[in-house]
Amino acid sequence: MSAFDSNMAVLVLEDGRVFRGTSFGAVGQTLGEAVFSTGMTGYQETLTDPSYHRQIVVSTAPQIGNTGWNDEDNESVGRDGDPAGSRIWVAGYVVRDPSRVTSNWRATGSLQDELVRQGVVGIAGIDTRALVRHLRTRGSMRAGIFSGDALADVDVLLERVKGQPSMLGLNLTAEVTTPGGYIIEPKGEVRYTVAAIDLGIKSSTPQMFAERGMRVHVLPAKTTLHDLLDLKADGVFLSNGPGDPATADDTVHLTKEILGQGIPLFGICFGNQILGRALGLNTYKMKFGHRGINIPVVEHATGRIAITAQNHGFALEGEAGQEFDTPFGRAVISHTCANDGAVEGVRLLDDRAFSVQYHPEAASGPHDASYLFDRFASLLEGDKN
């Protein structure tokens, strides 16, 4: 490349594949892991989900942006719990056809304008179908989007892409957790107190607890068992979040201490991997992961199938219905994905602790699994009696 159109942008993958398009959002350079999401709706929730930190997200839906941007659908909050501090967490955004019109009564602006305002570099006008087929074949990989003054010869851009760290072995919890904690109150009577360990928590999750009469103390990842015991929490929640679960040794240690105390525990996504590791399971990096709002999961105790929202590139090792011994009693692989058999949930057989890999809060997405919040409430009620 020696001369560039002012609106040109390129996406460079670490295996040398290059896609050329037009600048979308902010102009400049961004690096991250290229992944794809199959949801046809909910792009605002995806972009603001902290679990997508350090990832360049490719939307498989051909047209994105028609509902613009609003003040209500963000899945992140400020690090002190202030909704006004919500932000986009993705490293970059890849779409085929950005909508030229914003058509939603709740919209406060366009997607393009919000990407520019928050400095999120994107690319549009590329063949996202070909890109997704490439990522499904080769797997998620390091990538970069370049536009404006960041454009250079492809060999130079490729070196920048290869110079960034891989998601494998990356610990990102400290970059997304709340520094000091905050409280979400229920609207009515306080029935239980829950300590939510923030590993990259979505804003809708504490609200789901609050709807069930739970006062939620959202706590930093560095929280200790002493902190939890002082709080006298009825239960503990392990949140979703980005990064490699194999690096989260401190949180795994805390989880073992919680289990040793017999405190009821519930985990989602990254929290599922943390509980699994605490029970003795290993994790691995998936080829291209599960990201979307239409993924079927089997609960083996009932045979029930739920259509779920998911966002994970790592998973626990194990097989459907597998029972195994742990220092805290017998446990079982409780859920698996109907598509590929990936582990989607674990629990202790006495039901003192359980977790799922998918998102029962599902914003945006199906609500088939929202009953899991009721299950946790029942567990807390039983523990009090």
Catalytic site positions: 269, 359, 361
Structure tokens at 226: 């002493």
SS3 call for 338: coil
Q: Which amino acid is at 226?
A: H
Contact 379, 371 (CB under 8 A): no
Extended strands (E) in the chain: 8-13, 18-25, 29-37, 55-59, 63-64, 92-94, 97-98, 121-124, 141-147, 182-184, 192-197, 214-219, 235-238, 265-268, 283-299, 304-316, 323-326, 329-337, 343-348, 353-356
The neighbouring-strand residues paired with 59 are: 37
Task: Quote the Cα angle for 258-263-265, to 5°.
Answer: 80
Q: Which amino acid is at 146?
A: F
Burial class (CB in 10 A: 0-12, 13-18, 19+), 318: buried
Is the backbone of residue 375 left (phi > 0), alpha (psi -120 to 50) or beta?
A: alpha
Number of Cβ atoms within 10 Å of the Cβ of 230: 9
Largest CA distance in the chain: 73
Residue 204 CA, chain-centre distance (Å), reads: 12
Structure tokens at 292: 């979307």
